[in-house]
Structure 1
Amino acid sequence: MVGRFPPDVERALQRAGWRLGRRVETARWRAELVGLDMHPAAEAFLAEFGELVVDVDGPGRTAARVPFELNPSLCVGEEDRFLAWGDETGRSLYPLGELDQGRYFLGMDDRGVILLVETWVAAFGPGDQGLIALCEGTMPTRLQAGG
């Protein structure tokens, strides 16, 4: 890997509208998601990658590659889920969007780790590493309480 992302991941992100230096406004998500504080890690990530719809599919490294959408508005009404899992894991969680066309939610903890959030929580990895895992079809690692 010469650049920031492997070539296939960079192409998928670029097809979704990402480019180096991209910035989107995050204030609307702060207003929509009642009771959740957008921590600095989520704000920085969403400012660069928010509003992307990444259309990947097919076999992956350790899981199927499935599309995901980085739009916290898709998580409105699920604030209690993110608060509860934040309490359970000892991390502050903020919604990022949806995975697999709404089958799962995506979030980010205050450490910058991208998470699958459902009736359980699993980590894809921090920031760019987590995006690579999502694009390449890498199974997330399930978190335990306090983890």
Structure 2
Amino acid sequence: MSRFSAEVELTLRNAGWSSDRKVDIKQWKELLSGFTWHAIAERFLQEFGGIRVDVSGPGVNCAREPFEIDPELAVGEEDRFAQLSNLFKRKFFPIGEVGRGEFFLAIDEEGFIYLLSAWALRIGPSDVALDHLIRGVAAERLDPPVEG
């Protein structure tokens, strides 16, 4: 069984992805040293880093927007990522942007992908999230954990 539907796999392949892809992330590790790296972010960027997916139009239940997997797009946003990580008790690491920079894409230490701006919206686990971004499935608003 394939990781992705035929439509999603074709879209990813057209953007430069392949299942055996392995990007050197050394330059990103140096440039983004102000962020908290974790193994999940490293593995995701090695496989998907540097691709740009050009989708548009209506989706399943929200508009499909282009997105880019490039953590450099968040340089200078270390404080925002730290604040949101603190608020939601997650280790958000930047992996790119959606649309024209309206949202950052972030991945947490469990492999879930989020849209971040002033708030966090969960898209899903990495493969599901890529499917949802490509097909236009709305993200769910994340609520901060209740202190107890």
Matches within 5 A, 1:1-147: 2-146=1-145
Amino acid at match of 2:117: E
Whole-angstrom distance in 2 between the partners of 1:146 and 1:17: 37
Once the two structures are TM-superposed, the CA of residue 54 in structure 1 deviates from its matched residue by 0.5
Once the two structures are TM-superposed, the CA of residue 35 in structure 1 deviates from its matched residue by 2.2
Normalized against structure 2, the TM-score is what? 0.95
Once the two structures are TM-superposed, the CA of residue 62 in structure 1 deviates from its matched residue by 1.1
- Mapped contact 1:69–1:97 kept (Cα < 8 A): yes
Q: Which contiguous aligned blocks of 4+ residues in structure 1 show a shift greater than 2 angstroms?
A: none
Stretches of structure 1 lacking an aligned partner (at least 5 in a row): none
- Mapped contact 1:30–1:37 kept (Cα < 8 A): no
Whole-angstrom distance in 2 between the partners of 1:14 and 1:81: 32
Per-residue deviation, residues 23-58 of structure 1 (Å, max 9, x unmatched): 101122221124212111111111000000001111
Stretches of structure 2 lacking an aligned partner (at least 5 in a row): none
1:61 match: secondary structure? coil
RMSD of the TM alignment (CA)?
A: 1.1
- Mapped contact 1:106–1:115 kept (Cα < 8 A): yes
Instruction: Report sequence identity in percent.
Output: 42
Whole-angstrom distance in 2 between the partners of 1:79 and 1:146: 22
Whole-angstrom distance in 2 between the partners of 1:127 and 1:71: 15
Whole-angstrom distance in 1 between the partners of 2:143 and 2:128: 21
Per-residue deviation, residues 113-136 of structure 1 (Å, max 9, x unmatched): 010000110011011011111111
Normalized against structure 1, the TM-score is what? 0.95
Whole-angstrom distance in 1 between the partners of 2:33 and 2:82: 11
Q: Figure out how many residues of one structure are paired with residues of the other and give that number.
A: 146
